[in-house]
Amino acid sequence: KNQVEQSPQSLIILEGKNCTLQCNYTVSPFSNLRWYKQDTGRGPVSLTIMTFSENTKSNGRYTATLDADTKQSSLHITASQLSDSASYICVVSDRGSTLGRLYFGRGTQLTVWP
Amino acid sequence: EADIYQTPRYLVIGTGKKITLECSQTMGHDKMYWYQQDPGMELHLIHYSYGVNSTEKGDLSSESTVSRIRTEHFPLTLESARPSHTSQYLCASSNGNSAYEQYFGPGTRLTVT
């Protein structure tokens, strides 16, 4: 069973609308949580990274929240643009490894229509 | 934009051929990683390296091998490609432990016919 679960699996919204993507994790002990954007045929690019003590972090129109008690995170996209169409991947790392090993969700495929 | 490069970007090859996927980074990062990703699925770590002359197998068993002779270079080799090796291969690097950012290359889409 994957230790990082994302929902929804896919989402279609109209340009200009807002949306929220969800991430639940069981990774322990927790180190940090990241949201990546992956365009089709490209490597993931980091949007935000949050540690245990951070509840929210913004990067332009992207705002991530973290509830370490319930082990949940969300990524809110404001005023969506066509270029936001991509897969958004939630990634959690643990404190038990010096490697920097990451646990990946399967991603939410977002499509923004004009 | 991360300074990590992968070649080729796309490769279609016949069964039984030997292939090497190249990965290079110019950021001076000690740690490098290879991930395998199938469509709609999560990334799986197949190899990693702490530094020069250090290589380890990841969580997902892979028939590929890697080498780390230079800090900036982390090639992945398949001695005999099979259709089951068809996938996207992503290379990444970081400058520290799990608290640090991992930077990903653009990936190599491999198709074995």
Beta carbons of A32 and B48 less than 8 Å apart: no
DSSP code at position A42 = S
Contact between A88 and A98 (Cβ < 8 Å): no
The model's pLDDT over B30-69, given as tens digits with 9 standing for 90+, comes to 999 999 999 888 999 999 999 999 999 988 878 899 999 9
Report CB contact under 8 Å: B101, A101. Answer: no
pLDDT over threshold 60, residue B17? yes
Q: To the nearest whole angstrom, how far is the Cα of A18 from the nearest Cα of chain B?
A: 23
A100/B98 Cβ within 8 A:
yes
As a whole-number percent, the residues of chain A with pLDDT over 70 amount to 95
- Average pLDDT on A14-39 reads 94
SS3 B83: helix
Mutate which of A35, A102, A109 to disrupt the B interface (most B C-beta within 10 Å)? Answer: A102
Collect all residues of chain A within an 8 Å Cβ-Cβ radius of residue B41: 106
Closest-CA residue of chain B to A50: B99
| pLDDT value of residue A19 | 98
β pairing state of A108-113 and A10-14: parallel
Nearest to A49 among B44, B92, B101 (CB): B101
Q: Residue A102: its pLDDT value, please? A: 84
In sequence order, the 6+-apart residues with CB closer than 8 A to the CB of B53 are B68, B69
Assess whether pLDDT exceeds 80 at residue A1.
Answer: no
Q: What percent of chain B has pLDDT over 90?
A: 80
Nearest CB among B4, B41, B48 relative to A99 is that of B48
Chain B partners within 8 Å of A104 (Cβ): 42-44
CB A14 within 8 A of CB A113: yes
